[in-house]
Each structure stands twice: as structure tokens, then as C-alpha cells.
């Protein structure tokens, strides 16, 4: 695929998908005038190259299933829904260029994405000037407040509140913080440090690395010398995999436990059983979650992609944020942005209990759980449930 271009895909499948009845029940035909109008266009602004394309593919996987289910049920306001993809190349500058094209040239009704905080922040003014909704569904550091941005994202409180007490109680109070040098790890670690110190723990080291580092020997030596009982890792993507491999090869897993924020099923193919075993994480969804709605969501994904499909929290979150938007469009009985955003608040069930979109800041409070990697699967160790984070508009 030429990643400098857009790929347009009109989804219009007619397969019978498990769980489709839940969507069908929420969608009715709209007004006759709108029924004869153009399609509803969703701009999917994702990294399809440049290093984070795996996350872009997982996000698109969720969006496409939701759109197909809506289209099979008659669309929204009687109109079919069209996806227009744009490649950010994992680059904020390119993200701005693609966002402008989606809004001005393609006249999308909403933009879904991107993945990184840097890219999201880069397009904030573009979104607000263009008065188009931005639907963001990646866990992030918090602080976004805009009439035009809605987030299906775990915030620092969703991670920190359940994880730090668990680590303090089950492993030990000496913690080393290691992350990539950008906003999300840095701001997450501010919250983590406070929680550790409030719990009587000790942050024995804090360090950040640029993207693309291949040798972590110096950092691993510092961790060993610090006596850390737990290393909390905020290094997403290939860098995180490289670190875990070197950490394991150095024999450090016998000395310190790894807690990896943002870890999900997508990392497992890049790690051996020994390298992944015992990694601790926190999330709003894992593929092995034993709940009826979780089984149903995974089964529908398998019906589309086969039994080996990876279904991560990224898939669920992007399905969910798209559902919130399309149902708000239906409630508003309009394709006008301000009316849709005013109707956005509400509750849905995707793959882990009921999730509510807050009217005040257009963020959700997901149901969280703790997990550990065992035999190359993410296994729940504790179900936390709903955590209410502070308003991002306070």
C-alpha cells in the first residue's frame, strides 16, 4: 500500500455476526431526507507504518467490526457508514497533514485516532478549528478537555489506583521507574511516584530513554544496583520488547519483577515463554477474560478473522468509542457536530461490563483488572471493576 495515500473502504457486509442483535436493537431508520443523503464518513487516522502500525491495525480491527454491524442493521439515520483510512506514519507532523485532508478534502463526520499523545496534541487545534469530533481511544496521561474530543482511555488513576497497592502488598516497596522519553511515561510516573511514596514505598530510581535504543545494559545494571523489587516499565512497542529480552538474559527476572503499563496480547509473539512469564499488568480488557460479554466479543472477532486473531484492549476501546459516537448521532437525529457531542453521554456494554461516557469531560471510566502472564497468556489475578478518575475539565 502507498502510505502517502488514503484507502477508502465502504463496509457493507451481510454476514450474520454473533452479538449483532445488541447493535440492531439500538439502531433505527432515520428521517427520509437523511436516508437519501450521502454516507456517514469516519476518518480513521492511524499509524499504518513508521513503528506503531500494529496498534493502528488493532484499532482499525475494532472500528471495522462495529461499522459492519451498524451497516448490517441499516446504518445510522438510514445512511450507510464509510471508513476512510489515513496513515500518520507514526509522525505528529504527518498526522496534522492527514487530519486536514480528512476534514477538508474528504469531509468526514468524525476522526478516530491517532495513537500517540504527541500526535493527538498536534491535531487538537486542527480538530477544534474544523469543528469535527475527535474520537480518541488509547490509554493516556490525562488532561484533555475539549468540546470536540472524546476519550475511551484509561487515565493515570485507572492504572495507578489498583496497581501500586497490589505491588506494595505482594512484591515489595522498592520500585524502579523506567520509561520512554515522552509525555505519557513522564506524567504516569508522577502519579506512580506519589502513590508509591504515599504507601510507604521508595522509588529507588527513575530513568527515561529515547525511542529506538538497542542496548539497555547500563540501565539494567543501575536497576540491579538499586535493589529494586519491582521495575515499572512504560516503554511501548519494540523498545519494550527489546528491554524485556535483555532484562531476562541478564538474569534479572529472578531479582526484580516486571510490571509493564500498556502491555497486551500484541507483545506475546515477540517474546519467548521465559521472557513473558510473570509480567504484571493492568487493563480494562484481556482476551481470556471470563465474562459473557467478553466471550461474545472475542467470538465475533474470531468469526471475522479466524481462531488465531489477537483481540486486545485496543480493539475493544476503538470499537467502544465508535459505538458511542454513532449512537449519539442516532439520539441527536442529526449529523451536526455540536448536537452529536451534546448527545454523547450514555452507557454501553462492549466486552467488560457497562461503561459510561461522562458528560462533563467526555471521558469514560472503564472496569479495570490486574493480570499476570502465565504460559503465554494474560490471566486475570484480580478484578477491580469501575474506577472513577478525576474530571479532566476540572
Is residue 249 in a domain?
Answer: yes
Q: For residue range 262-281, list pLDDT tens digits in order.
A: 999 999 999 999 999 999 99
Residues 307, 380 share a domain: no
- Which residue from 357, 132, 305, 348 is spatially nearest to 113, judged by alpha carbons? 132
Is residue 1 in a domain?
Answer: no
Backbone conformation region of residue 61, classed left if phi is above 0, alpha if psi is from -120 to 50, else beta: alpha
267 neighbors 377 (Cβ within 8 angstroms): no
- In the prediction, which pLDDT does 95 show? 98
Residues 381, 240 share a domain: yes
- In the prediction, which pLDDT does 338 show? 97
Task: Categorize the per-residue pLDDT at 11 as very low, low, confident or very high, splitting at 50, 70 and 90.
Answer: very low
Which domain range does residue 122 map to? Answer: 7-154+291-363
Is residue 392 in a domain?
Answer: no
- In the prediction, which pLDDT does 52 show? 86
Residues 119, 268 share a domain: no
- In the prediction, which pLDDT does 324 show? 98
Residues 277, 176 share a domain: yes
Q: What contacts 215, CB < 8 A, 6 or more positions away?
A: 246
Please compute the mean of the pLDDT values over residues 201-213 and round it to a whole number. Answer: 95
- Which residue from 242, 172, 180, 184 is spatially nearest to 206, judged by alpha carbons? 180
Is residue 347 in a domain?
Answer: yes
Residues 149, 81 share a domain: yes
- Percent of the chain's residues with pLDDT above 90: 86
In this structure, the number of other CB atoms found within 10 A of the CB of residue 217 comes to 9
Q: Would you say residue 16 has pLDDT above 70?
A: no
Residues 196, 115 share a domain: no
Task: Categorize the per-residue pLDDT at 230 as very low, low, confident or very high, splitting at 50, 70 and 90.
Answer: very high
Q: Would you say residue 20 has pLDDT above 60?
A: no
Q: Would you say residue 30 has pLDDT above 80?
A: no
Q: Would you say residue 32 has pLDDT above 80?
A: no
| Cα atoms in the Cβ-side hemisphere of radius 13 Å centred on 376 | 8
Q: Would you say residue 142 has pLDDT above 60?
A: yes
Residues 251, 106 share a domain: no
Is residue 391 in a domain?
Answer: no
Q: Would you say residue 305 has pLDDT above 70?
A: yes
- In the prediction, which pLDDT does 14 show? 33
How far is it, in rounded angstroms, from Cα 267 to Cα 163? 20
Residues 122, 19 share a domain: yes
Is residue 338 in a domain?
Answer: yes
Residues 165, 148 share a domain: no
Q: For residue range 379-394, list pLDDT tens digits in order.
A: 999 999 999 999 999 8
Which ranges of the chain would DSSP assign to H, the alpha helix?
A: 20-24, 32-35, 53-72, 92-104, 117-130, 156-170, 183-198, 217-226, 238-249, 273-276, 292-305, 313-332, 337-342
Residues 161, 133 share a domain: no
Residues 250, 382 share a domain: yes
- In the prediction, which pLDDT does 96 show? 98
Is residue 394 in a domain?
Answer: no
Q: The CATH number of the domain where 145 resides is what?
A: 3.40.50.2300
- In the prediction, which pLDDT does 37 show? 59
Arithmetic mean of pLDDT over the chain = 91
Domains: count for the chain: 2
Which ranges of 131-231 would DSSP assign to H, the alpha helix?
A: 156-170, 183-198, 217-226
Amino acid at each position: 500500500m502507498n502510505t502517502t495515500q488514503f484507502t477508502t473502504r465502504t463496509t457493507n457486509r451481510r454476514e450474520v455476526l454473533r452479538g449483532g442483535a445488541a447493535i440492531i436493537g439500538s439502531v433505527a431508520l432515520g428521517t427520509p431526507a437523511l436516508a437519501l443523503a450521502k454516507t456517514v464518513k469516519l476518518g480513521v487516522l492511524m499509524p499504518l507504518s513508521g513503528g506503531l502500525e500494529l496498534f493502528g491495525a488493532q484499532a482499525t480491527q475494532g472500528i471495522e467490526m462495529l461499522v459492519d454491524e451498524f451497516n448490517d442493521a441499516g446504518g445510522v439515520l438510514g445512511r450507510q457508514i464509510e471508513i476512510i483510512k489515513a496513515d500518520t506514519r507514526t509522525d505528529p507532523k504527518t498526522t496534522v497533514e492527514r487530519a486536514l485532508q480528512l476534514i477538508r478534502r474528504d469531509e468526514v463526520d468524525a476522526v478516530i485516532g491517532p495513537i500517540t499523545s504527541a500526535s493527538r496534541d498536534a491535531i487538537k487545534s486542527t480538530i477544534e478549528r474544523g469543528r469535527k469530533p475527535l474520537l480518541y481511544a488509547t490509554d493516556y496521561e490525562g488532561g484533555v478537555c475539549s468540546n470536540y474530543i472524546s476519550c475511551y482511555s484509561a487515565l493515570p488513576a485507572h492504572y495507578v489506583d489498583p496497581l501500586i497497592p497490589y505491588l506494595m502488598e505482594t512484591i515489595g516497596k522498592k520500585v524502579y521507574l523506567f520509561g520512554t522519553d515522552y509525555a505519557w511515561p513522564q506524567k504516569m510516573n508522577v502519579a506512580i511516584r506519589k502513590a508509591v511514596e504515599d504507601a510507604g514505598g521508595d522509588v529507588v530510581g527513575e530513568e527515561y530513554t529515547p525511542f529506538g535504543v538497542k542496548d539497555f545494559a547500563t540501565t539494567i545494571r543501575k536497576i540491579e544496583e538499586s535493589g529494586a523489587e519491582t521495575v515499572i516499565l512504560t516503554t511501548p512497542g519494540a523498545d519494550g520488547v527489546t528491554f524485556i529480552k535483555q532484562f531476562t538474559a541478564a538474569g534479572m527476572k529472578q531479582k526484580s519483577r516486571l510490571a509493564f503499563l500498556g502491555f497486551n496480547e500484541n507483545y506475546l509473539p515477540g517474546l519467548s515463554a521465559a521472557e513473558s512469564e510473570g509480567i504484571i499488568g493492568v487493563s480494562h480488557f484481556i482476551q481470556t477474560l471470563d465474562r459473557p460479554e467478553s466471550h461474545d466479543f472475542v467470538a465475533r472477532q474470531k468469526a471475522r478473522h479466524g481462531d488465531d486473531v489477537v483481540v486486545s484492549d485496543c480493539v475493544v476501546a476503538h470499537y467502544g468509542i465508535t459505538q458511542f459516537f454513532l449512537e449519539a448521532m442516532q439520539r441527536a437525529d442529526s449529523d451536526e457536530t455540536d448536537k452529536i457531542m451534546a448527545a454523547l453521554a450514555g452507557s454501553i456494554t462492549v466486552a467488560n461490563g457497562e461503561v459510561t461516557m461522562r458528560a462533563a469531560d467526555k471521558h469514560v471510566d472503564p472496569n479495570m483488572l490486574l493480570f499476570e502472564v502465565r504460559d503465554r497468556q494474560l490471566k486475570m489475578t484480580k478484578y477491580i471493576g469501575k474506577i472513577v478518575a478525576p474530571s479532566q475539565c476540572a
